A and B are shown apart, each in its own frame.
Chain A
Amino acid sequence: DVKVTQSSRYLVKRTGEKVFLECVQDMDHENMFWYRQDPGLGLRLIYFSYDVKMKEKGDIPEGYSVSREKKERFSLILESASTNQTSMYLCASSAVAVGTEAFFGQGTRLTVV
């Protein structure tokens, strides 16, 4: 069974903290994505990666960075968490960037206080 696993289901962090969200996929996919989901706004793309050590900005990259040191792992980093980054974060992977099914992790509900 294919799987995308996010390290935490729920996280509570303080304003100004550096936050790491981890995502691991077991499908040997080239492409991995980070989205945030907010009510009424759908899924907005933060960053994506099409290969190890390669990354591209999505639509809302400000305040975030990413790391992909290994093919199976894609990390989202909040350099200095702020309350407006409270959201649901979803990681996804796919064999190609567009044109094949994207598989999602279960999501991380991040609250910044």
Chain B
Amino acid sequence: GQQVMQIPQYQHVQEGEDFTTYCNSSTTLSNIQWYKQRPGGHPVFLIQLVKSGEVKKQKRLTFQFGEAKKNSSLHITATQTTDVGTYFCAGGYNKLIFGAGTRLAVHP
């Protein structure tokens, strides 16, 4: 079945450093979504990418969708303590499959 793999599983950074998480699918995706889950909270939708090679920005967050629509990345510039949480990618055709997530810790 379809699999969505995400790396790294965990990363801790100093406040102000950059952070990147990568997502790879075993099959071509129609689109990919990114979610953030704060500690103790539930996943909250961040963005959806649909087009091959698409790049979207939300303030310090940059999302990319690969040319082959099988991989994606989320890059955070100059992390802040408010960025702490777990970031998930998700995709699929008839069902939404999530990656294992990358847990980000930011040290002030």
Residues of A in contact with B (beta carbons under 8 Å apart): 33, 35, 40-45, 48, 50, 56, 58-59, 90, 92, 94, 97-107
Contact = CB atoms under 8 A, between A and B. Distances in A.
B97 A59 contact: yes
Interface range for B: 20 to 34
A6 B98 CA distance: 20
8 contacts: A43-B88, A43-B98, A45-B98, A94-B96, A97-B92, A98-B30, A102-B96, A106-B42
A97 B6 contact: no
Specify which of A33, A50, A97 lies most central, judged by the most chain B CB atoms within 10 Å of its CB: A97
B1 interface: yes
Contacts, number: 68
Contacts of A107: 42
A33 B43 contact: no
Interface in B1-40: 1, 6, 9, 30-31, 33, 35
A99 B35 CA distance: 13
Interface in B51-100: 88, 90-100
Contact of B42 (A41, A58, A101, A104): A104
Specify which of B31, B35, B41, B96 lies most central, judged by the most chain A CB atoms within 10 Å of its CB: B96
A46 B44 CA distance: 19
